[in-house]
Structure 1
Amino acid sequence: MVARTGLYAFLAANAAAVAVLFVQGGFAANALIVLGRFAGLYGALFMAFQLLLVARLPWLDRRLGMDRLTSWHRWTGFGVLWTLLAHVVLITFGYAQLSSLDPLNQLLDLAETIEGVLRALVAFALLLVIGGVSARAARRRLAYETWHFIHLYTYVAVVLAFTHQVAVGTSFTSSSWGTAYWYTLWGAALGAVFAGRLGLPLWRNLRHRLRVTAVVPESDHVVSVYVTGRDLDRLPARAGQFFLWRFLTRDRWWQANPFSLSAAPDGRSLRLTVKTAGDGTAALRRIEPGTRVFAEGPYGAFTAMHRTRPDALLIAGGVGVTPIRALLEELSGHCVVLYRVTADRDAVLHDELRDLAAAKGAELHLVTGPAVPDRLAPAELARLVPDLTGRDVFLCGPPPMMNAVLGSLRELGVPAPQIHFERFSLAG
């Protein structure tokens, strides 16, 4: 709540500052140009806010979770596109009113005669392409690596847009404190990206020097990878979190995949457990012990940090059991674990869960059967866990299952602060 309120307050304070700068910059010859400049300023503010959301700063990530930051990033992206589109259209038509040119020729004239306008148009075109490939329909058809590579052009667009703002923005030319404000805002946003996306991962990997120690098949389609390194007791990882893993082999060093920890960090080693879902995950079985690892993270708010009750209900679906198994190891108080799978053979790490539950005095229920009928419908949840509303609920699994269970929890009256889940989506 503190982090969310802080982000809202940050955006509101900067929105007010931009409004003041806009008024101090004076008004143009007609209403269209005035509105166009207004939209451009808020487009710039939204772009800076976007950078903060994708910076993967640990303080924000631990409190909000990457899925929520990604959701806000998506909606802020729409704000960037619409405000910049309004900026381009309104400015073009506004200047066209003052000249004898039609809007298209007016836009070309602005690009040819005013410094920075051509760069701004290139930036806008890049953002349109990035927005197009980020639409759900297009995103499903692209490999993560392809989508991520295209997304990197966002930083090119940001730099081009900033140079346009420096060249012709009224906030830069109208007052010295306006100039200082925009340099500070952009410097802080880009600095956050540099620190969170480059500086911190490099520093942690140089410090911990991670490498694979063992690769253990759990079943025909599931494998666990054990990783060790130096000073792992100083790595701020918690049960329920995940890393972006790069295994530095000749054919995989450029691929980064998000995998949760499947055991609570003990200061000596880390373990991830992965289900085969393509060539990349299948290749994990062939990784040799001693392979160097570059890991970004830990990421995620799916931890015991946000507990509100002494007892907990852990609900896992399929390979979503990996962070649930790690959480069970760390959590105190009485725990009930519901593990939802289609058939017994799909219950990854079930033996470990059973032994761990017995050692901790927890209840473990293996819920099997097809997706329909829903085996975790409200009546069944209430039967298995009569004191459900008095527990924290941690949920991880396939999206359809998670959506169904979240609906059941709401129907049973479980307060929202007691429900903890994360969809492990990535921004930028």
Structure 2
Amino acid sequence: MNKTFSYLLLLIGLVLIVYFWSLNSWILMDSNISLAMGRLAGLVLVYSLLLQLVLIGRTGWLEKIFGMDKLARFHHWNGVGTLVMLLAHPILLTVAKSGDSGFVATFIRLNGGDDVLNGTIAAIIIIAVGILIPILLEKLKYEIWYYLHLLLYVAILLAFGHQLELGGDFRDNGLFVVFWWVLYVFAFGNLILYRFARPIYYFWRHSFEIQKVEKDTEESHSIYIQGKDLKRFEFKGGQFAIFRFLQEGFWYEAHPYSFSSIHNDKFLRITVKNLGDYSNKIRELKVGTKVIIDGPNGVFTTARAGNRKILLIAGGVGITPVKAVAEEMIKDNMDVALIYSNRQEGNIVLEKEVDLLAAEYKNLRLIKFLSQKMGQLDPEKIKALVQDYKERTVYICGPIPMIESLVSGLKAAGLRGSNIIFEKFSLR
């Protein structure tokens, strides 16, 4: 499946919804357009909710097509559309049925009864989550953000109950009922498969547990994870997963980290820098602790390279996926230049390993960049360091402001967007 086919499926779903709606409600367009459009808004609302479910469900086949960053952006804008439809649906129905009673009285009457309780609760959940998350996004801990999203599953099931009970276009057409059942099974099937069944299956099959915790610098640690038959747990350099450590003080949280080693049959490894409450206590993990791994995810891999000449740009802890993807590239005899940017010397993540790679492989050119001395990295400085950078596929990983600044700067300098590969490694 490719992007075109995915968009086509999405469009076909919308067309079928409008078609089935028209069979029952088009006749109302002259006599009561508010009622007709209110029904349509409700149908599109549920369709967009199911789409949200697929977008946030770490759906493997879809993530391979678009990448996590694009899916997160789709999720955001589809969420905006969902809120619009959520407001339009009850407002239009209230206008359609208000008559001489007045808007407020009719709204209370229509939305206060037991027969619409499922829909009302679903609406409250969606509005609360839809408003709270954008406002508090930067302040929310990852686990709180995660559990808020779980409420959407409840809201969607309640919305389905509301459809079954009161949906005029829904109840009167058996084929339309089947259509919606297919959509719900598809959306929740993908969610259950990728969000829950896959990590549980991998945990059962590979028995992941911590092999050792190794100090990398004063501010970072590497966690080595062993397991059964690791050769069959396949991932690419540059990918990431969500890790849940089943140890007291850790088990109730799951966090995304990039693999900092390439695929092998001995261990998996992540390298974590002390950047917050959770990462600061990562050194307290004990050998033998069981680990649930949800992944791999991400498309920051060699598969996206447009040619055999590569420029890798890593900022700080962004070296973790870059080091892994660099190792795969140089072993494949690609021509690789790596700019490793840090603020200053000392406590540089994986510095010794990167130095050893550069010493061992002549097709890897390592350039260390210290922003405190040399200023902010930009296209002019990149050109001075790697003169043929426009001939290379450019991979960027680091702090989000750095990524955004470099991507816009490189595009302004004449690089095509297709030759600039980046992922923000954020599920939010």
Q: Which amino acid aligns with 1:228?
A: Q
Q: Measure, in 2, the Cα distance between the counterparts of 1:183 and 1:292.
A: 38
Counterpart of 2:288 in structure 1 is 290
SS of residue paired to 1:146: helix
Q: Measure, in 1, the Cα distance between the counterparts of 2:71 and 2:297.
A: 11
Q: Which amino acid aligns with 1:109?
A: R
Counterpart of 2:338 in structure 1 is 337
TM, length-normalised to structure 1: 0.95
How far does the alpha carbon of each residue in 1:25-70 deviate from its partner, in whole angstroms, 9 at most, with x for none? Answer: 2334511111111111111111111111112122222332212111
2:18 is the counterpart of 1:19: yes
Moved over 6 A (4+): none
Question: Could you tell me how far 1:114 is from its partner in structure 2?
Answer: 7.3
2:189 is the counterpart of 1:177: no
Deviates more, 1:341-350 or 1:11-20: 341-350
Counterpart of 1:426 in structure 2 is 427
Question: Could you tell me how far 1:270 is from its partner in structure 2?
Answer: 0.6
Counterpart of 1:82 in structure 2 is 84
Contact 2:39–2:169 under 8 Å retained in 1: no
Q: Which amino acid aligns with 2:102?
A: D
Matching of residues 60-139 of structure 1 within 5 Å:
60-97=62-99, 100-111=100-111, 115=115, 117-135=116-134, 137-139=135-137
Contact 2:207–2:227 under 8 Å retained in 1: yes
Counterpart of 1:3 in structure 2 is 2
Counterpart of 1:406 in structure 2 is 407
Q: Measure, in 1, the Cα distance between the counterparts of 2:336 and 2:346.
A: 24
Question: Could you tell me how far 1:102 is from its partner in structure 2?
Answer: 2.1
2:319 is the counterpart of 1:321: yes
Question: Could you tell me how far 1:382 is from its partner in structure 2?
Answer: 1.4
2:249 is the counterpart of 1:251: yes
Question: Could you tell me how far 1:315 is from its partner in structure 2?
Answer: 0.3
Contact 1:51–1:190 under 8 Å retained in 2: yes
Counterpart of 2:278 in structure 1 is 280
Question: Could you tell me how far 1:173 is from its partner in structure 2?
Answer: 2.1
Is there any run of 5+ residues in structure 1 with no aligned partner, and where?
Answer: none
Q: Measure, in 2, the Cα distance between the counterparts of 1:64 and 1:385.
A: 29
Q: Measure, in 2, the Cα distance between the counterparts of 1:346 and 1:409.
A: 29
Deviates more, 1:42-51 or 1:60-69: 60-69
Contact 1:309–1:418 under 8 Å retained in 2: no
Counterpart of 1:396 in structure 2 is 397
Q: Percent identity?
A: 32
Q: Measure, in 2, the Cα distance between the counterparts of 1:404 and 1:300.
A: 21
SS of residue paired to 2:12: helix
Counterpart of 2:218 in structure 1 is 220
Question: Could you tell me how far 1:138 is from its partner in structure 2?
Answer: 1.1
Deviates more, 1:26-35 or 1:240-249: 26-35
Alignment length (residue pairs):
421
How far does the alpha carbon of each residue in 1:7-34 deviate from its partner, in whole angstroms, 9 at most, with x for none? Answer: 3212111111111011112334511111
Contact 1:389–1:415 under 8 Å retained in 2: no
SS of residue paired to 1:323: helix
Q: Supply the RMSD in Å over aligned alpha carbons.
A: 1.6
Contact 2:217–2:348 under 8 Å retained in 1: no
Question: Could you tell me how far 1:4 is from its partner in structure 2?
Answer: 2.8
Contact 1:24–1:174 under 8 Å retained in 2: no
SS of residue paired to 1:233: helix
SS of residue paired to 1:25: helix
Q: Measure, in 2, the Cα distance between the counterparts of 1:11 and 1:280.
A: 38
SS of residue paired to 1:40: helix
What is the aligned counterpart of 2:145 among 147, 151, 157?
Answer: 147
SS of residue paired to 2:65: helix
SS of residue paired to 2:414: coil
Is there any run of 5+ residues in structure 2 with no aligned partner, and where?
Answer: none
Flag the 1:210–1:290 CA change in 2: closer, same or farther, 3 A: same
SS of residue paired to 2:74: helix
Q: Which amino acid aligns with 1:49?
A: L
TM, length-normalised to structure 2: 0.95
How far does the alpha carbon of each residue in 1:195-231 deviate from its partner, in whole angstroms, 9 at most, with x for none? Answer: 1111111111111110011111111110001001011
Deviates more, 1:85-94 or 1:57-66: 57-66
